[in-house]
Structure 1
Amino acid sequence: MSSRLGLAASLLLSAFSLVPARAQDAPKTWEVPMGGNSYLTQQPKDGDRRGGRNDSWSSPDAVTSVYFRVDRAADLDIVLRAKVPQGESRIRATLAGKAVEKDLKGAEASDVPLGRVSMKQAGYVKVDLQGIKKTGDTFADVEALEVTPVGKDAAAVVLNYVKDNKGNNFYWGRRGPSIHLGYELPKGEPVEWFYNEITVPVGSDPIGSYFMSNGFGEGYFGMQVNGPEERRVLFSVWSPFKTDHPGEIPEDQKITLLKKGTDVHGGEFGGEGSGGQSYWKYAWKAGNTYRFLNRVHPDGKGSTVYTAWFFVPEKKDWQLIASFKRPQTDKHYTGAHSFLENFSDRQGFLSRGALYGNQWCRDVKGEWHEVTTARFTTDPIGRSLFRMDYAGGSRGKEFFMRNGGFFAENVKPDQKFTREPTPAKKPVIDFSKLEGADLVGGE
């Protein structure tokens, strides 16, 4: 009797011990929500910008593309979860270049198998959705893609995408990862001036790009692509008062515009902190190299003056952008950095990039120091691995950064990179001729 009980107990224990192993080995189905992972990549011919994301999907010309990343070679079964509020529809789904057509109907969400994708290596998968015909007002309301790895080692496969909308992640994820180069300034005398050069390769400048050249602890200075016909050189300084609404800033903590250059707009900004903003509409061109210069110095009265100049190749001269006074601040240049971001969530599926070279700083004694080391970092969207289409580092005499576009390459953040020095290119600047260089405080 005891042996039978012992055998039964042993078999029961063996059965229970198998349950966790089977659950662990079972492939996971990953749900890729449309809200943070899809884009209208082909516009309707009639100009209607509505697509298949969270908008009404009504135009047969519109193509909505959904993206997710797989961490290794894998076979993936892909299912579309959607509903058709009225009537019936026929759509086309293109997976890894292979198109399939599916009939959809039903006011309740249902699963529609689209097919299998075979990835030969780690990288992004793109699924295109396009309407063919419909009897109702819209082709479908699409909720998500369901992706299941299959085959050997399927349980080990990991997918990366924007998983939730906590903290408005869908918006930030659709913008894509912002990335930064934090420059290593020399120790010793305080730094008063910082100089940098940016070259944006042809084709790497989609709308929504901000190529920030000269960042500092309290603001930033660079160039943007604001529209098909508009580009800007932008310089901003944050108020010491923390708010996203400029109207809330107390008078004694507001940024003061001391002077601005010809045709430069001066005002305020909000939304991501608040403060003083200036920009100059200038049709800079991809493929050209542009030069940026900043000065940061205390006025001796408890405030600090921040000034920015942009070298205009056509005039072969420095253009003053603006000079701001920041109260409750007494310091020189700190936190030198560059960053690359996309500020348009509709453009996050497009790639952008730039080369950053010939960085120099000048201390309070007038000595120039070349800056050749930088630390590469990314924002929470990149650190959470919601988006992994970012890269940065050094190539010869320049640093580089690239983001957006769902490319396979990825560079781990928090690495330090060193570029080759360029001592022959030390800046030659006649500071006495710089407009606004003599400004101190409110003078």
Structure 2
Amino acid sequence: MTTVSAQPGRALKEQQQFVVPANKAYAEPFTPGDPGVSIPVGYPESRGSISRWRNKEKRVTWVVYQKPGNYDLYFDNQVAAGKKLRFKLDVSGCYPQLGLKPVHRDLVFKGTGQKDTLYGLRVKIPAEGYYRYTLTPLTDPEGAITISSLLFRTTAADGWVNFINYQSTPSVHLSFSSTEPTTKSYNWLYEEILVPEGADPLYTYYMSLGFYRGYLGIQTNTPTERRVLFSVWDSKDAEKDSSITKADFVSLVDKGAATTVNAFGGEGTGGQSYVKGANWKTGKPVKFLMNVLPQENNTVVLSAWYQVADEGWNYIASWRAPHEKRFFDGFYSFIENYGYTNGQLRREAYYYNAWGRESATDKWVNFNKVRFSNTDGKRGQRVDYEQGVSPKYPDRFYMASGGYTPTIKTKNEMPVLQTPPFPDLKKFEARVAEALKNEGRQNIRK
């Protein structure tokens, strides 16, 4: 933020100026691999220009967080000499509660081949929150324009325009527990997820069962591919800990016929198993089941299954985790955007019918209480998330992330369910026994 003198023709008042780097923007509509305009992906410290805008069907949207006041908007730009490019500028609040009537104006960027600053419009911001500023080409931009920054100027003493550091979304988490008496020692975990229609943007991981050595859930990977993913961490991080030995790596025990396995890194190291043709759908429940079986050699065998709607259970894999003897003590769930560039799209899922079976008593315990957590959450940054008991379904927890909506947190507890998910687990126990017989036939590391 800097202080500048007033605009020509206006009363001389001290103005505050807020600079928004042009690359803190989104190309819309979002098309993976074909943005139609170059917007360098950046982390908080990065600054970059928008360039190579060659697709007339692509608009560019900036979302900023503003306090009330009158703001004059300018664009720092450079247009090829002799070009005259027309755009429509639209300004709106990201949600109705802000009370801003949408504002529109046509702009003409005239090319001199030199750096220039174009005045956009004056907008009166009525309430603190997220606002969208969108440029839509009215003529072919021809790759002839570069925009380096947006400038907001105001005489409001407490004016504030804050650009969003991350074009991703905040990650949101629910940690599950029970209000019932329990040993907090479970050998089986169970939960269901349902993603509503339209709440499944690309690059979303809806993690269902997160435990002390890994996690299990579903992903939207490409426009045509959806996966179920089950990962288990090594005892040490092979990328950071030079003391790691072969005995610290997880090993594959067995896997389903449709399962792909490999080693992974970047967030700790370990073994990854996934089903590419899982074919889960929005509006349909996906059920998850996990087992932990401690072994005498200070390892545990971790096994996972999933079921789409009521189409039958699918075995994913079993992994042996070394230097471990714990049962599950509960689990957590989260929503994560791992693709970064489409954080203006909202993700949502219901998490419900959550249970753990006590290892000592075989009693199923319903997890009817959660603890909330999230990443970011700083004022003026990514505070667009929701958590708690669903307003639509009082027997389901839910989470949402992204879309630049207001923060919503509801209740963190609901009534205890009385009907466990399984009368018995014999066929699943038999599959674990079969996996142990098959152990050693495959390896993820050469």
- TM class by smaller structure: 0.7 to 0.9
Stretch moving more, 242-251 or 334-343? 242-251
- Please list, as runs of the form range in 1=range in 2, the aligned pairs for 1:175-186 lying within 5 A after superposition: 175-184=168-177
One of 135, 140, 146 as aligned partner of 1:141: 146
One of 69, 72, 77 as aligned partner of 1:77: 72
Deviations 1:34-92 (Å, cap 9, x if unpaired)?
33x31111369xx953315235222222211111122x544332222222355534241
- Report the alpha carbon displacement of residue 219 of structure 1 after superposing the two structures with TM: 0.9
Decide whether aligned partners of structure 1 residues 254 and 108 sit closer, same or farther in structure 2, where only a CA change above 3 A counts. farther
* Structure 1 letter corresponding to 2:396: E
Partner of 1:162: 164
SS at match of 2:400: strand
Partner of 1:402: 400
SS at match of 1:345: coil
Identity over the aligned pairs, expressed in percent? 28
- Please list, as runs of the form range in 1=range in 2, the aligned pairs for 1:215-254 lying within 5 A after superposition: 215-243=210-238, 250-254=245-249
Partner of 2:261: 266
The answer to whether the 8 A contact 2:186-2:330 is kept is: no
- Report the alpha carbon displacement of residue 134 of structure 1 after superposing the two structures with TM: 6.8
Task: Determine the C-alpha separation between the residues in 1 that align with 2:388 and 2:225.
Answer: 29
Partner of 1:49: 35
- Provide TM-score, normalisation by structure 2: 0.80
Decide whether aligned partners of structure 1 residues 32 and 259 sit closer, same or farther in structure 2, where only a CA change above 3 A counts. same
- Report the alpha carbon displacement of residue 370 of structure 1 after superposing the two structures with TM: 1.0
SS at match of 2:377: helix
Task: Determine the C-alpha separation between the residues in 1 that align with 2:174 and 2:110.
Answer: 48
Task: Determine the C-alpha separation between the residues in 1 that align with 2:288 and 2:167.
Answer: 29
Task: Determine the C-alpha separation between the residues in 2 that align with 1:79 and 1:99.
Answer: 13
Partner of 1:117: 123
Task: Determine the C-alpha separation between the residues in 2 that align with 1:42 and 1:209.
Answer: 17
Partner of 1:6: none
The answer to whether the 8 A contact 1:375-1:416 is kept is: no
Decide whether aligned partners of structure 1 residues 200 and 116 sit closer, same or farther in structure 2, where only a CA change above 3 A counts. same
Decide whether aligned partners of structure 1 residues 159 and 331 sit closer, same or farther in structure 2, where only a CA change above 3 A counts. farther
Decide whether aligned partners of structure 1 residues 249 and 50 sit closer, same or farther in structure 2, where only a CA change above 3 A counts. farther
Task: Determine the C-alpha separation between the residues in 2 that align with 1:419 and 1:28.
Answer: 48
- Report the alpha carbon displacement of residue 324 of structure 1 after superposing the two structures with TM: 0.7
Partner of 1:105: 111
The answer to whether the 8 A contact 1:53-1:64 is kept is: no
Segments of structure 1 that go 5 or more residues without pairing to the other structure are 1-24, 164-172
The answer to whether the 8 A contact 2:26-2:61 is kept is: yes
- Report the alpha carbon displacement of residue 108 of structure 1 after superposing the two structures with TM: 4.7
The answer to whether the 8 A contact 1:397-1:421 is kept is: no
- Report the alpha carbon displacement of residue 338 of structure 1 after superposing the two structures with TM: 0.4
User: For the pair shown, which has the larger CA radius of gyration, 1 or 2?
Assistant: 1
* Structure 1 letter corresponding to 2:204: S
One of 417, 425, 434 as aligned partner of 1:422: 417
One of 357, 364, 372 as aligned partner of 1:362: 357
* Structure 1 letter corresponding to 2:152: V
Partner of 2:95: none
- Please list, as runs of the form range in 1=range in 2, the aligned pairs for 1:173-322 lying within 5 A after superposition: 173-184=166-177, 188-243=183-238, 250-280=245-275, 281-315=277-311, 317-322=312-317
SS at match of 1:252: helix
Count of aligned positions:
396
Partner of 1:32: 20
The answer to whether the 8 A contact 1:38-1:67 is kept is: yes
Decide whether aligned partners of structure 1 residues 361 and 178 sit closer, same or farther in structure 2, where only a CA change above 3 A counts. same
Deviations 1:81-133 (Å, cap 9, x if unpaired)?
22235553424122234132122434554332211233343332111123344
- Provide TM-score, normalisation by structure 1: 0.81
Decide whether aligned partners of structure 1 residues 340 and 127 sit closer, same or farther in structure 2, where only a CA change above 3 A counts. same
Partner of 2:98: none
SS at match of 2:119: strand
SS at match of 2:149: strand
The answer to whether the 8 A contact 1:303-1:329 is kept is: yes
Task: Determine the C-alpha separation between the residues in 2 that align with 1:160 and 1:388.
Answer: 13
Partner of 1:14: none
Deviations 1:323-377 (Å, cap 9, x if unpaired)?
1111122212146100001122232221110111111111112111111111111
The answer to whether the 8 A contact 1:192-1:332 is kept is: yes
Stretch moving more, 220-229 or 386-395? 386-395
The answer to whether the 8 A contact 1:87-1:134 is kept is: no
Decide whether aligned partners of structure 1 residues 88 and 352 sit closer, same or farther in structure 2, where only a CA change above 3 A counts. same
Deviations 1:217-239 (Å, cap 9, x if unpaired)?
22111111111211111111112
Task: Determine the C-alpha separation between the residues in 2 that align with 1:288 and 1:391.
Answer: 21
The answer to whether the 8 A contact 2:184-2:328 is kept is: no
- Report the alpha carbon displacement of residue 215 of structure 1 after superposing the two structures with TM: 0.7
Decide whether aligned partners of structure 1 residues 48 and 329 sit closer, same or farther in structure 2, where only a CA change above 3 A counts. closer
Task: Determine the C-alpha separation between the residues in 1 that align with 2:232 and 2:14.
Answer: 53
Task: Determine the C-alpha separation between the residues in 1 that align with 2:167 and 2:136.
Answer: 20
* Structure 1 letter corresponding to 2:19: E
The answer to whether the 8 A contact 1:235-1:277 is kept is: yes
1:431 equivalent to 2:419? Answer no
SS at match of 1:214: strand
The answer to whether the 8 A contact 2:65-2:380 is kept is: no
Task: Determine the C-alpha separation between the residues in 1 that align with 2:263 and 2:379.
Answer: 32
Stretch moving more, 179-188 or 364-373? 179-188
